[in-house]
Structure 1
Amino acid sequence: MSKSFTYSIASIRFDENYQPANSTRLTTNFANLARGERRQENLRKTLTMINNRFNALAHWDNPTADRYSVEVDIISADLDIEGNGDTFPVIETLKTTIIDHKENTRIDGMIGNSFSSYVRDYDFSVVLPDHFANHPESTPPKEFGELHGKLFQHLLKSEAYQAQFDKQPVICLSVSTSKTYQRTGNQHPVLGVEYKQDEYSLTDDYFHKMGLTVRYFMPTGSVAPLAFYFAGDLLGDYSDLELISAIATMETFQKIYRPEIYNANSRAGAVYQPSLKYQDYSLTQIVYDRAERSQMAVTQGKFTEDEFIKPYQDILEEWAAKFVVDKSAAEKRADDKQAA
C-alpha cells in the first residue's frame, strides 16, 4: 500500500501552559493569545470566558452555573505527500471535551470549531492579490480554492481522521462584513435565531469547495450571528452540548478578535450589516495584536508557496486531477447556489 498522500494527526492541549508548536500558524487565534508577557493571563481568561459562556447556555439542571467546564485540544493534521516522512502542516482545528462535574463524566464536544490552514493563507494572501493585480475588474479564478477543498475532503476520508473522530467537523466563524444578513422566523433552542445572507461571500464559496455548506445563527445572549460550516445535518447530527461547546469556544475567540461585532453593546437587528468600524462595543481584558495577524498572513502565504506549492506543484496537480470530490457535497453546493 502506498504511503504517499497520508496524514498524521497530533493533539496539543490548549490551557494556560500552552506553547504553540513550531508548525502552528502564528496568526491562528489560539496561538496569537499564547505570546507576549501576558500570555498565561490571556489563556486563563480565555478559558474562563469559554466555561462561563458554556454554563450560561447549558443552564438546565445547572442552578449555580458551574456544572460544566470545557477542555480544548488543538488538532493538527500533517500531510506526507511522497511517503518519505517529510510532512507539511496542512490543517489545524479544535476539539472540545465537556467535563460534567455533577455526574463526574467526560463528554465529547465538537470537532472543528476554529479552522487554520497555510494553504488558505496562500490562496487569499498570494493567489488573490496576484490575480486582481493583473485582472482588477474580474472575479476570482475559477479554480480558486479547488486544491484546498480537495485536501480537506481527503483528510476527512483518511484513516488517520476516521480512527480518531466519528463525526464530521463543524467550523464556526465570523459573519462577513461585506454582506447583509436578515433575521428569519426560525429559532433553534441552542443555536438561536437563524439569519440568511443576501448572497454568498468569498469565504462561503471557499468553504463550499471543502464540501461544507453554511447557516447563520445568533444564540441566546449573543449580539451577532455566527457562521456555521458543516457537511451533514447541523441540527440533527450533533447533541445540544456539542453545539454549545462550539458556540462557547468560538464566540469567545470572536469577542477577543472582533469585539466591534461580537462584543458590541447592542444586538443585531432584523437586517444586519456587520462592521469593524462600529464604535459602540466593549473590549475584553485579553491582549492581542490584530494588525500583526493580518500582516503575518502574507508571510505565511509566501512560506506555503515556497515550501509546499512550488516544490510539489506537479504532484499536487496530478493528484488533484484524479481526486473525486464527494458527490453529495458537490450537489449540496449546487443546490445552495440555486436556492440563493
Structure 2
Amino acid sequence: MNNFKFSIKSIGFDENYQPADNTRITTNFANLARGERRQQNLRNTLAMINNRFNSLVFWDNPNSDRYSVQLDIISVAIQIEGAVSNTEENNGHNFPAIEVLKTTIIDGKTNQRIEGIVGNNFSSYVRDYDFSLVLPEHNKNQPSFSIPEQFGDLHGKLFQYFVNSEAYQQHFNKPPVICLSVSDNKTYQRTSNQHPVLGVEYQPNETSLTEQYFKKMGLEVRYFMPAGSAAPLAFYFFGDLLNDYSNLELASTISTMETFQRIYRPEIYNAHAAAGERYQPNLKNRDHALTDIVYDREERSRLAVEQGKFAHEHFIKPHHALLSRVLAQSSADKAAQQQ
C-alpha cells in the first residue's frame, strides 16, 4: 500500500539565497538567510565550507584552494493520490515534507564537476510533529519519561517511500547520508578504527532516541571525528558508509555539516580542546570560539513547535484514515519479521 508520490525541486544555496515560503524556517540554511546580515552570513558560511573541504582533501592541493563545494537545497513534496483539495497547501495534497542538501564538488584544476552526496542536513515537518507535539503530550504529567508506541513509525515509512520512489531514483545515483551532531546525553569512546577522511571512529555508550528514530527510517549510524575537528559527527546511512562513497563525496558532507555545527553548536564543534579518548559533549562549555555568523538559536527552538502544529493541521489531521492504515501495515510488517 503506497498512495504517496513525491516531487522534487532544487534551488541553489549561495549568497543570494532567500528561503521559500514553505521552507522550514528553523532549517540551518534558512535560519542564516534572514535578517540584516543575511548575505554576509551566507558568504562567510560558504567560505568556511570551502576552506574546510580543501583542508580535508589536501593531496594534489598544495595551496589548499583547488576545490569548492556547491550546495543545492532539495525540497521534497508529498502528493497523496486521490486527495481532494481546495488549496493544495492546506490539506496535504502537496505537502512540503522533507528538505535536504546536495553537494557538488568543483575541481578548479580540471574544471570538473563531481557529484557529491544528497542528504547532509535533514529537516522534516513530520519529525517536528513527533518531537514537539507527540512526545511532550505523551509525557505530560507522567512520573517518568517514556516513548509512545509506534513513535516515529509513520515518519520512517514515509522516508523509506521517498528513498525508494521513482522521483528519488531519477534525481540521485546513491542513497542519502545524513550528518548530525553528537548527543550531549551520551559518552563516546575512541576506537582504533581510522578512515583517511572520516577520521577516528567513536562508539557511544548507549543508544539514543534519535538513533532509534532514524533506524525506523532504515538508517544505521556511525560516529567519526575527522582530522582537525573538535568532536565526532554522527553519520546516518544505508549500506556501507566507508565503501559506497568516495573520499571526495565524504569530504563534501563533512565540510558542509561541520560548518553548520560550528555555527550552531560552537560549544561542541568550535571548542578549543578536541575530544579525547572518552568524550562527553557539553553544551555549557565556555572554552570555545564563536564564528562571525549571526543566527537566532531561540527562534529555532520556538518555531519547531509551530511547525509541528503545521504538520498536524495540514497533513496528519486531513489524512488521518490513510496514515492510520500506513501505521497498521507497518505494525503488520514488523510482526511478520519477528516470526
Same fold (TM > 0.5):
yes
Specify whether residues 212 and 326 from structure 1 end up closer, same or farther in structure 2 by C-alpha distance, changes over 3 A only: farther
Aligned residue number for residue 114 of structure 2: 107
Q: Is the 8 A contact 1:150 1:325 kept in 2?
A: no
Q: CA deviation at 1:138?
A: 4.2
CA distance in 2, matches of 1:244, 1:270: 23
Write the distance in 2 (CA, Å) between the matches of 1:88 and 1:323: 21
Contact in 1 for aligned 2:230/2:270 (Cα 8 Å): yes
Match for 2:131: what amino acid? F
Q: 1:130 aligns with which of 121, 125, 137?
A: 137
Task: Specify the code of the residue in structure 2 equivalent to 1:229.
Answer: Y
The answer on 1:305 being equivalent to 2:322 is no
Aligned to 2:67: 68
Q: Which residue of 2 aligns with 1:27?
A: 26
The separation in 2 between residues aligned to 1:181 and 1:325, in whole angstroms, is 35
Q: Contact 1:153–1:210 at 8 Å: present in 2 too?
A: yes
Kindly provide the amino acid, as one letter, of the partner of residue 294 in structure 1.
Answer: S
Equivalent position to 1:245, from 244, 252, 261: 252
Measure how far apart 1:272 and its partner are: 0.5
> Alignment partner for residue 228 of structure 1, among 229, 235, 258?
235
State the distance in 2 between where 1:142 and 1:217 align: 31
Asked if residue 285 in structure 1 is aligned to residue 289 in structure 2, the reply is: no
What does residue range 2-81 of structure 1 map to in structure 2 within 5 Å?
A: 4-81=3-80
Distance 1:11 1:21 in 2: 11
Structure 2: how far apart are the matches of 1:27 and 1:319? 28
Could you say if the C-alpha distance between residues 265 and 325 of structure 1 is closer, same or farther in structure 2, counting changes exceeding 3 Å? farther
Q: Percent identity?
A: 66
**Letter in structure 2 aligned against 1:288:** Y
**1:200-220 deviation digits (Å, cap 9, x = unpaired):** 111111100100010000000
Give the TM-score taking structure 1 as reference length. 0.93
Q: CA, structure 1 residues 163+270, in 2 after alignment: closer, same or farther (shift >3 Å)? A: same
**Equivalent residue of 1:186, what SS?**
strand
> 2 CA distance for matches of 1:38 and 1:253?
16
Closer/same/farther in 2, CA of residues 283 and 326 from structure 1, 3 Å limit: farther
Give, in angstroms, the shift of residue 275 of structure 1: 1.1
Cα distance between partner residues in 1 of 2:241 and 2:332: 21
Distance of aligned partners of 1:326 and 1:282 in 2 relative to their CA distance in 1, 3 Å threshold: farther
1:116-174 CA deviation, whole Å, 9 max, x = no partner?
A: 00000000000010001043414201310000000000000100001011111000000
Unmatched tracts of structure 1, length 5 or more: 332-340
Report the counterpart of residue 263 of structure 2 in structure 1: 256
**For 2:138 and 2:251, how far apart are their aligned partners in 1?**
40
Which position in structure 2 is the counterpart of 1:266? Answer: 273
Q: Secondary structure at the match of 2:275?
A: coil
SS in 2 for 1:172: strand
2:162 is matched with 155
The verdict on how the C-alpha distance between 1:280 and 1:77 changes in structure 2, with shifts beyond 3 A counting, is same
Structure 1 segments (4+ residues) deviating >2 Å: 82-86, 319-327
CA contact (8 A) 2:153 2:330 kept: no
Q: Give yes or no for the alignment of 1:175 onto 2:174.
A: no
User: TM-score, normalised to structure 2's length?
Assistant: 0.93
**1:96 and 2:103 are equivalent in the alignment:** yes
